[in-house]
């Protein structure tokens, strides 16, 4: 693949927006120190509690085992926006022109509301966990190691200090956690995530000052003012209730502690990407596939006019914002679909479910769609753009 053209660009982002505060809640679960049964996640051994027991309230230490055996994600239902949820341009239910970040979270009749209803039935969470389980071994190498470069930049701007304690929410394969761990020694890093296989990859690198566990980000068992730093690398848009994750991050951070977040900025996708992802829902319907989906508001999380508002509503003050853009061009439809399959749960499930005949048909359609763009230079071209922010607890 001649994919990773020298397009990595970083630039400060101006115009930090502010919006109103609201109530919030998110979820991250699953780990290879834990087992899953009937939708419940249980701590697999008491060594984990002993390891980070000093971070709990005394009362939390007494009830943590029972909590971890009984907790379920608080989940509701999402509407519309399959494409915007995973990649590409916002769907029809998205943000109107000239709206502010707080407009995204207000019902048509006005009045404040939560950021959004928790967007996940059990089916949605299962869909996400299955996707990340399936891609776990290839996650670090996808798109020429793009996730690793984003993680490295996030760890850099987060500025972890020696002796600090950090929490990595949605830690995945542990890329951010391990980078931070190297900088905070003898401090510690705890990573939490949904996917057992992702956590297994994270644990395979044995840093003595890291621990990876299953935990719900909407109800962290840590006492208030525990951590100096919380990181969320490419995780916020995938959480069941993103706003609660931010509120919980605020609670467990020490005064003036920092939150570092990276989000995909989907509005900078190329015409080729937008055209491709717009065709995924018709493709699913044609093959009688019905997939769970997030609401389209999540496609806005990586926008400079939106993310600072979300953080502000959770009690943070943004101190640093920067963008990172990587891009390239696939050689043909097969290379393109292989690359796009890794972009999210929807394209992955659809593309990987097709047999040889229907995969060939899809690639023919992709070729025709690329030709329809008019400019040959636009065909098979893609951008992966990220907004990174560091915010201080107010």
- Domains present along the chain, CATH in parentheses: 5-34+73-393 (3.40.50.150)
> What is the DSSP code (8-state) at residue 217?
G
Torsion angles phi and psi, residue 386, rounded to 5: -130, 140
Q: Which residues contact 372 (CB under 8 A, 6 or more apart)?
A: 275
The predicted structure's pLDDT at residue 55? 57
The predicted structure's pLDDT at residue 49? 44
126 in Cβ contact with 203 (< 8 Å): no
The predicted structure's pLDDT at residue 126? 82
> What is the DSSP code (8-state) at residue 42?
E
198 in Cβ contact with 300 (< 8 Å): no
Span 75-125, pLDDT tens digits: 333 323 333 333 333 333 333 333 333 333 332 333 322 333 444 457 777
3-class DSSP assignment, residue 323: strand
120 in Cβ contact with 78 (< 8 Å): yes
> What is the DSSP code (8-state) at residue 136?
G
The predicted structure's pLDDT at residue 53? 52
The predicted structure's pLDDT at residue 128? 86
Stretches where the chain sits below pLDDT 70 are 1-121
Secondary-structure percent of the chain, ordered helix, strand, coil, rounded to 5: 45, 20, 40
Four-CA torsion 303, 194, 216, 117, nearest 10 degrees: 50
The predicted structure's pLDDT at residue 65? 36
């Amino acid at each position: 693949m001649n994919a990773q053209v020298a397009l990595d660009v970083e630039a400060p982002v101006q115009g930090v927006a502010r919006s109103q505060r609201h109530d919030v809640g998110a979820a991250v679960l699953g780990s290879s120190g834990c087992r899953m049964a009937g939708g419940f996640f249980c701590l697999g051994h008491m060594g984990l509690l002993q390891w980070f027991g000093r971070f709990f309230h005394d009362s939390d230490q007494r009830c943590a085992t029972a909590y971890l055996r009984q907790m379920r994600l608080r989940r509701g239902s999402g509407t519309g926006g399959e494409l915007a949820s995973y990649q590409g341009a916002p769907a029809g239910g998205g943000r109107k022109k000239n709206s502010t970040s707080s407009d995204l979270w207000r019902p048509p009749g006005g009045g404040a509301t939560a950021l959004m209803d928790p967007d996940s039935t059990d089916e949605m969470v299962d869909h996400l966990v299955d996707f990340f389980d399936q891609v776990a071994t290839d996650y670090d190498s996808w798109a020429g190691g793009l996730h690793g470069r984003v993680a490295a930049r996030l760890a850099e701007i987060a500025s972890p200090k020696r002796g600090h304690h950090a929490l990595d929410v949605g830690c995945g394969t542990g890329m951010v956690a391990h980078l931070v761990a190297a900088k905070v020694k003898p401090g510690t890093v705890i990573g939490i995530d949904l996917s057992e296989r992702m956590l297994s990859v994270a644990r395979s690198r044995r840093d003595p000052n890291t621990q990876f566990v299953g935990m719900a980000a909407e109800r962290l068992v840590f006492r208030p003012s525990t951590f100096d730093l919380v990181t969320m690398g490419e995780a916020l848009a995938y959480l069941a209730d993103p706003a609660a994750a931010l509120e919980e991050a605020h609670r467990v951070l020490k005064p003036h502690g920092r939150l570092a977040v990276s989000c995909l900025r989907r509005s900078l996708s190329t015409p080729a990407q937008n055209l491709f992802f717009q065709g995924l829902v018709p493709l699913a319907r044609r093959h009688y596939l019905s997939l769970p989906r997030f609401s389209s508001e999540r496609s806005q999380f990586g926008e400079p006019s939106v993310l600072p508002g979300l953080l502000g509503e959770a009690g943070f003050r943004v101190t640093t914002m920067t963008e990172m853009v990587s891009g390239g061009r696939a050689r043909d439809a097969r290379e393109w679909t292989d690359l796009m399959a890794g972009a999210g749960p929807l394209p992955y499930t659809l593309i990987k479910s097709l047999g040889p005949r229907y995969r060939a048909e899809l690639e023919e359609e992709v070729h025709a769609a690329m030709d329809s763009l008019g400019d040959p230079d636009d065909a098979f071209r893609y951008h992966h753009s990220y907004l990174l922010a560091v915010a201080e607890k107010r």
